[in-house]
Amino acid sequence: MGVKFPLHTKSKSRKVLSHDEPEDINLQVKERKKLFKTLSGIEVKRFYHPKDAMSGGYEQTLNDPGCYPFTRGIYPTLYRGRLWTYRQFSGFGTPLDTNRRYKYLISQGQTGLSVAFDLPTLMGRDADDPRCLGEVGKCGVGVSSLEDMETLFEGIDLSRITTSMTINAPAAWVWAMYLAVAEKQGASWKKISGTIQNDILKEFIAQKEWIFPPEPHMRLIVDTIDFSVKCVPRWHPISISGYHIREAGSTAVQELAFTLADGMEYVKWCIEAGLKVDEFAPTLSFFFNSHLDFFEEIAKFRAARRIWARVMREKFGAQKEKSWLLRFHTQTAGCSLQKQQPDVNVIRSAYEALAAVLGGTQSLHVNSLDEALGLPTEKAVRISLRTQQVLAHELGVTNTVDPLGGAYFVEWLTDRMEDEVQKYFQKIEEVGGVLPGIEAGFFQQEIANAAYAYQQEIDRKERIIVGVNDYLLEESPDIEVLKIPDTAEKTQIQRLKSLRRRRDHRAVVQRLRDLQKAAKTSKNLMPELYEAVKAYATLGEIAGVLKEVFGEYRERAVI
Amino acid sequence: MSRLSFSKVKPERVKQGKSIPIRVLVAKVGLDGHDRGAKVIARALRDAGMEVIYSGLHRTPEEIVDMAIQEDVRVIAVSLLSGAHMVLVPRILQLLKKEKVKDVLVLVGGTIPEDDAKILKKMGVKEVYFPGTLTTGIVEDILRYTSEPKQKLRVKKS
């Protein structure tokens, strides 16, 4: 490329600078900082040039939307065909409280449900477990039994709405509860659709809500994928998640690398269990964070699609095009929200949401302005939903697919993300793979290092966060905070006690015994789990009998 | 109770002479798995010359108080992002009282509404740190609070 950029300066010999001489530029024009870098620490040049982009060729590295390797999007029409799903994650208090919130969200134009469970549920514990004191209904809705699940979806037609459930360690039997509700409603398993997160690897790496050691959890995940393929074909039995990895402090590069490595691990386990890659691969889905570094996030989403397509085709030999597609949900970055001047969070979340849309997300959650303080109020959630609707209808960004495709910087950064991810794949291989890496604390240490480095930048004011270390207000404006009534815990415990009295005790004992017996074999546990939840065995009782077979996990903490 | 998953971090710059580094227990209590803040604080305190013990995840208030006594710490820094702070933190304070542990500063950090923070401080929590707090400020606070003369830690275990 012969493009030269004449630079007008006062120096005697006016120099014509070529793209290859960035250092010369820096000598002549002083810049604000010595180094400009992305949130992941990738150094960014002053400007980019055609030479920087698409060196691998258009068809090979980008290609049209809907064409391998899908860098520009998995569908040829994307939002011209169908908008992304507005999926605001919510859940708090009792199943009845949350059921009311769902009905409100649906009435406001939400197009998919997303269930946030409380910590006891995430850990497979019943509301009346002594370890759950003070936790019931606090950061999500508490579900201890099928009865709770029935209340949660009371009056909501499961054949008409898709439901995403953020549940991991006990995902198999929480899903069984959902399937039981669907059956009771008369909604065919062949027609219902939704997602269970069911990604235990990122729990060990980042979110830290587990029950058993990694291997039995992996077996349960393979069981759910297998069951889904055979019996609930429109379901996504796993959402391989980078979101929590990012929230725990990782960089964008680490988020992408660790998530895709986890994805490959699940594929490997499924293939080893005898599943055919082209049967289950189309059901896999992903979940990413959208943080504040706008272009890096967009590059991350684009690189994710390309890497996954190549991995599925070349490494795992998938033949069907559907098996190569990386579909993903996005949530804006909770960790970018600030308590100070909370209104500013609306702006942060809107930009993050825009990055997700420009990155081609399939569904989206926009965080609410009050979430550094607690769960969002109805009003705060409405603003989040409206942010999505403004993006969809007013901004014009949905008119064309991958509008940033071909931008020198975006293409360069997409390539760099891919290179950096490959380096991490190499490192993960060096520590022996994903499970040995978890046991050795490799991922946890990498994330902790990145989180600390980020905080130090803020402490030293090398990175400005508006309202936190600059542009402060004497007094931060007061905002309304959602209060979870303490009665939620009592109500849930009473409901559970009453259920234990009412149900057929013998049937429960028998189903739990059958489940435990099956757990000792290598057969798929879904049928036994389904029978157990239908007999109203509780979440904690099921976890209990499985723990006796599988054991419990305890983390060796690294700082 | 398992003690195996303690993480002890020795200070990088141990103070010279008679001065003994301040011992801090960074504690995760309840079912909350959010450990980013706890780990960042643990490292910041260590880098500031303190001796830090990290409890690891999913501890009960009983386990935390027991660790604090065993490790003879001056400060318990509790991190909570689960919303269970109004139950679990008072329980820690109550147990410290029951064990007759005095002169241990209890600090709390996490997603805690201001109204709750006021109540917790009335109950005996020395300081509550909200999201966005700089670690340098926490270090300064601990140095200031602990420079007040300390009586021998009085522990009576029955």
- A476 pLDDT more than 80: no
| B130 at A interface, C-beta within 8 A | yes
| Contact by Cβ (8 Å): B49, B13 | yes
Name the least confident of A254-268, A371-385, A418-432, A518-532: A371-385
Task: Nearest by CB to B39, from A132, A451, A467: name it.
Answer: A451
| B115 at A interface, C-beta within 8 A | yes
CB contact under 8 A, A135 and B84: yes
* Residue A132 pLDDT: 95
The mean pLDDT of A161-166, rounded to a whole number, is: 95
Q: Which residue of B has its CA nearest to A246?
A: B36
Q: Where are the beta strands (DSSP E) in B1-156?
A: 7-9, 23-28, 51-54, 75-80, 105-110, 127-129
* Residue A461 pLDDT: 95
Produce one character per residue of A277-289: b if its CB has 16 or more CB atoms within 10 Å, e if not.
bbbbbbbbbbbbb
Q: Which residue of A has its CA nearest to B32?
A: A119
Burial class (CB in 10 A: 0-12, 13-18, 19+), A521: exposed
pLDDT class for A325, splitting at 50, 70, 90? very high
* Residue A131 pLDDT: 94
Under DSSP, the state recorded for A555 is -
- A486 pLDDT more than 90: no
Q: Which residue of A has its CA nearest to B52?
A: A559
CB contact under 8 A, B56 and A557: yes
3-state secondary structure of B42: helix
pTM summary value? 0.92
CB contact under 8 A, A559 and B42: yes
Angstroms from A349 CA to nearest CA on chain B: 17
Angstroms from B56 CA to nearest CA on chain A: 6
Please give the mean pLDDT across all residues of chain A.
94
- A549 pLDDT more than 50: yes
Residues of B in contact with A337 (CB under 8 A): 131
Task: Nearest by CB to A372, from B56, B91, B111: name it.
Answer: B111
Produce one character per residue of B99-130: b if its CB has 16 or more CB atoms within 10 Å, e if not.
bebeebbbbbbbbbbeebbebbeeeebbbbbb
- B139 pLDDT more than 60: yes
pLDDT class for A508, splitting at 50, 70, 90? very high
Q: Which residue of B has its CA nearest to A119?
A: B31
Compute the C-alpha angle A19/A295/A407, nearest 5°.
50
* Residue B9 pLDDT: 58
Residues of A in contact with B130 (CB under 8 A): 339, 372
The mean pLDDT of A226-243, rounded to a whole number, is: 98
Residues of B in contact with A465 (CB under 8 A): 132
Residues of A in contact with B58 (CB under 8 A): 123, 208
* Residue A29 pLDDT: 77
- B127 pLDDT more than 80: yes
* Residue A54 pLDDT: 86
3-state secondary structure of A167: coil
- B158 pLDDT more than 50: no
* Residue A1 pLDDT: 40
- A477 pLDDT more than 80: no
In the sheet that holds A194-196, the strands lie side by side as A89-90, A112-116, A162-166, A194-196, A235-236
| B31 at A interface, C-beta within 8 A | yes
| B94 at A interface, C-beta within 8 A | no
Residue for token digits 């270090």? B139
Residues of B in contact with A134 (CB under 8 A): 30, 84, 86-88
Q: Report helix angle A95-107 to A378-393, nearest 10.
A: 30
- A478 pLDDT more than 80: no
* Residue B137 pLDDT: 95
CB pairs under 8 A between A and B: 122
CB contact under 8 A, B35 and A469: no
* Residue A110 pLDDT: 83
pLDDT class for B8, splitting at 50, 70, 90? low
B9-26 pLDDT, tens per residue? 555 544 444 578 999 999
Burial class (CB in 10 A: 0-12, 13-18, 19+), A547: middle
Q: Which residue of B has its CA nearest to A244?
A: B34
| B36 at A interface, C-beta within 8 A | yes
A245-276 pLDDT, tens per residue? 999 999 999 999 999 999 999 999 999 999 99
A131-157 pLDDT, tens per residue? 999 999 998 999 999 999 999 999 999
A420-435 pLDDT, tens per residue? 999 999 999 999 999 9
Backbone torsions φ then ψ of A473, nearest 5 degrees: -110, 145
Q: Which residue of B has its CA nearest to A457?
A: B134
